[in-house]
């Protein structure tokens, strides 16, 4: 049932046998179980809506009245039947989860991925599918649930494949970029430019760069040796490791100061990447990010529009307009990246 692998413990093999011992339900039974599950979910949703509406736990009478039930006994019976129906629907279809997980094991990926984790995530997806299944739509539960299971197992596999977790949509985009790049290289007889590649993948150049950077994040060992410029080069002395740098005690005030400087440098570097030098300078002056040594004597911190205007020799309205337009550009870039983050690949 499972290919022998270190990723598949004996307990999971036994569990797989138990799964296949459960009988499948007929299409007619499947619809009945789905209907009972949906009714229970409807009552539960009704309870949550009442709680949200009144700002408190609804009384039994309020719940029964909203649900159209005579008393709590009738309502609880529907809930119990719904829970039992959902459990039966899940138990009779667990073999679908095992089948999807087994694909990874049979493809020789057992040493890379933990089958138990994949099985668990697939089962959670199956439960969610049982709660969302609407039999009146006319399709089988297995057809509906398989989508949820495959998505969950694939997402779990993606998360296990890297030490530094990267969202699945970024993985999928990177795979598409890699495949498209190989195709274009073959067609063009050369490496495609960023513009050509991003256009072929239907993403922007900015999204392409960010996708690549996300996938190229490297993990390092704390045992890796590093060069310490504050120590003399002595071959007999023990060399510093990354752990030494991380674990060493640093003056908190000095550390925070260094962090602020690094963040400031990174921010300014990012601004210069997307805005003109003139726009960047105006923003730095307006929000107090400019090095005070570059300011006239007596000026410090964030400057008013009038002060910036006087300093750069432009009218206040012009300065204000440039700053507002610069902020709009930055918001547009942020929105573009958020859309890329949220889009389904």
The pLDDT tens digits for 16-62 are 778 877 888 898 999 999 999 999 999 988 998 988 888 888 888 88
pLDDT of residue 18: 81
Residues contacting 216, CB < 8 A, separation 6+: none
The closest alpha carbon to 114, from 155, 158, 157, belongs to: 157
Answer yes or no: is pLDDT of 215 > 60.
yes
pLDDT of residue 3: 47
How is domain 10-160 classified at the CATH fold level?
1.20.120
What is the percentage of the chain residues whose pLDDT exceeds 70?
A: 74
The pLDDT tens digits for 151-181 are 888 777 666 655 455 666 776 788 889 899 9
pLDDT of residue 230: 43
Q: What mean pLDDT, rounded, does the chain reach? A: 78
pLDDT confidence tier of residue 220, bands split at 50, 70 and 90: low
Calpha distance 317→193 (Å, rounded): 41
User: Across residues 103-124, what is the average pLDDT?
Assistant: 71
The closest alpha carbon to 141, from 83, 199, 92, 204, belongs to: 92
User: Across residues 12-17, what is the average pLDDT?
Assistant: 71
Residue-by-residue DSSP string for 144-199 = HHHHHHHHHHHHHHHHHT-SS---HHHHHHHHHHHHHHHHHHHHHSSPPPHHHHHH
pLDDT of residue 83: 93
The CATH number of domain 249-342, selected from 1.10.10.10, 3.90.1200.10, 2.40.50.100, 3.40.50.450: 1.10.10.10
Calpha distance 211→205 (Å, rounded): 10
Q: Is 247 helix (H, G, I), strand (E, B) or coil?
A: helix
The pLDDT tens digits for 274-300 are 888 889 889 888 888 887 777 777 777
| Long-range pairs, 122-127, Cβ under 8 A, ≥24 | 122/97, 122/149, 122/152, 122/153, 122/156, 123/90, 123/94, 123/97, 124/152, 125/97, 125/149, 125/151, 125/152, 125/153, 126/90, 126/93, 126/94, 126/96, 126/97, 127/86, 127/90
* Domain ranges across the chain: 10-160, 168-215, 249-342
The closest alpha carbon to 133, from 36, 38, 26, belongs to: 38
135 DSSP assignment: G
pLDDT confidence tier of residue 344, bands split at 50, 70 and 90: very low
The closest alpha carbon to 167, from 294, 342, 14, 318, belongs to: 342
Is the model's pTM score more than 0.85?
Answer: no
């Amino acid at each position: 049932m499972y290919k022998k692998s270190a990723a598949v413990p004996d307990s999971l093999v036994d569990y797989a046998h138990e799964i296949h011992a459960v009988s499948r339900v007929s299409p007619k039974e499947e619809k009945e179980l789905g209907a009972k599950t949906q009714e229970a979910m409807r009552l539960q949703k009704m309870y949550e809506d009442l709680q949200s509406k009144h700002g408190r736990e609804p009384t039994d009478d309020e719940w029964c009245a909203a649900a159209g039930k005579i008393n709590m006994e009738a309502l609880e019976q529907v809930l119990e039947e719904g829970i039992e129906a959902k459990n039966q629907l899940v138990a009779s279809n667990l073999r679908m989860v095992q089948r999807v997980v087994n694909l990874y094991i049979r493809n020789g990926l057992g040493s890379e991925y933990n089958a138990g984790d994949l099985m668990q995530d697939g089962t959670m997806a199956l439960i969610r599918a049982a709660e969302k299944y609407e039999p009146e739509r006319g399709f089988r539960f297995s057809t509906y649930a398989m989508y949820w299971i495959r998505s969950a197992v694939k997402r779990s596999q993606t998360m296990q494949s890297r030490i530094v977790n990267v969202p699945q949509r970024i993985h999928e985009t990177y795979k598409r970029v890699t495949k498209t790049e190989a195709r274009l290289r073959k067609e063009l007889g050369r490496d495609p430019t960023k513009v050509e590649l991003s256009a072929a993948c239907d993403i922007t150049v900015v999204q392409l760069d960010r996708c690549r950077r996300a996938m190229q994040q490297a993990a390092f060992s704390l045992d890796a040796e590093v060069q310490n410029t504050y120590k003399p080069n002595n071959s007999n002395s023990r060399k510093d490791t990354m752990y030494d740098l991380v674990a060493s005690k640093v003056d908190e005030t000095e550390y925070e100061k260094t962090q602020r400087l690094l963040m400031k440098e990174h921010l300014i570097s990012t601004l210069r990447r997307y805005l003109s030098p003139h726009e960047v300078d105006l923003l730095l002056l307006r929000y107090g990010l400019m090095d005070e040594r570059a300011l006239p004597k007596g000026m410090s911190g964030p400057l008013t529009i009038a002060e910036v205007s006087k300093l750069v020799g432009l009218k206040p309205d012009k300065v204000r307009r440039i700053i507002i337009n610069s902020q709009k550009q930055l918001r547009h870039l942020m929105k573009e990246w958020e859309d890329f983050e949220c889009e389904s690949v």
